[in-house]
């Protein structure tokens, strides 16, 4: 999906997913919705996922960053972290997302950083902090994903 060729994965993730014949940057991208919103996942590991999104094109009628856009960025990053934690035999399914919007953004790029709060066998919870270009916190979100067992062939469609 879109411009995802700059996603950095740690070697242990590349090794873990090797042999499945998958395009990891595409699998761990923002998907079609994220592509429309120009979300870029730039760094992806179970302990830290980083992504960016432009404010322009993702605003509400008053010209401010839409809270739903922040939620899309947060859920994307937390889901990627959860999937990487679960590995090739688990599928992460979001079951709870909450977002607190601290300040508005009118322009530029926002950056989200997802870090784990809990990484278990059946659930994973990530805190996602979204900041503006001045490193001011725009939003704090928390995502919990259920981790479901799957056959790794499921990724192939």
What is the token pair recorded at 25? 């940057």
pLDDT of residue 3: 45
| Structure confidence at residue 29 (pLDDT) | 83
d(CA 38, CA 2): 8
Return the residue matching tokens 């900041």: 131
pLDDT in tens, 98-115: 999 999 999 999 999 999
Q: Is the domain covering 11-149 a CATH 3.10.129.10 domain?
A: yes
- On the question of pLDDT at 157 being above 70, the answer is no
**Could you give the dihedral angle defined by the CA atoms of residues 39, 45, 48 and 54, in that order, rounded to the nearest 10 degrees?**
-10
Q: Residue 110 and residue 54: Cα distance in Å, rounded? A: 6
Pick from 2-6, 44-48, 128-132: least confident: 2-6
Q: How far apart, in whole angstroms, are the C-alpha atoms of residue 46 and residue 56?
A: 29
3-state secondary structure 7-24: CECCHHHHHHHCCCCCCH
Task: Evaluate whether 130 touches 65 at the Cβ level (below 8 Å).
Answer: no
Residue with tokens 């659930």: 123
Catalytic residue IDs: 75
**pLDDT tens per residue across span 111-154:** 999 999 999 999 999 999 999 999 999 999 999 999 999 876 76
Where is pLDDT greater, at 6 or 118?
A: 118
Give the pair of three-digit tokens for residue 95. Answer: 């079951």
Nearest-angstrom CA–CA distance, 48 and 130: 13
Residue in the block written with tokens 């399914």: 93
DSSP letter, residue 108: S
Distance CA 115, CA 78 (A): 8
Tell me how far apart the alpha carbons of residues 60 and 36 are, in angstroms, rounded to a whole number: 15
């Amino acid at each position: 999906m879109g411009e995802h060729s700059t996603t950095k994965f740690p070697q242990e993730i590349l090794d873990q997913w090797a042999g499945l014949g998958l395009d990891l940057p595409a699998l761990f991208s923002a998907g079609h919705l994220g592509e429309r919103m120009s979300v870029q996942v730039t760094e992806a590991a179970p302990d830290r996922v980083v992504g960016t999104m432009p404010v322009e094109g993702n605003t509400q009628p008053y010209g401010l960053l839409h809270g739903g856009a922040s939620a899309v960025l947060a859920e994307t990053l937390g889901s990627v972290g959860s999937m990487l934690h679960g590995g090739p035999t688990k599928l992460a399914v979001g079951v709870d997302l909450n977002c607190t919007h601290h300040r508005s953004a009118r322009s530029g790029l926002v950056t989200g950083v997802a870090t784990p709060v809990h990484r278990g066998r059946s659930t994973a919870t990530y805190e996602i902090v979204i900041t503006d270009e001045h490193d001011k916190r725009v939003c704090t979100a928390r995502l919990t994903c259920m981790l479901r067992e799957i056959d790794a062939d499921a990724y192939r469609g």
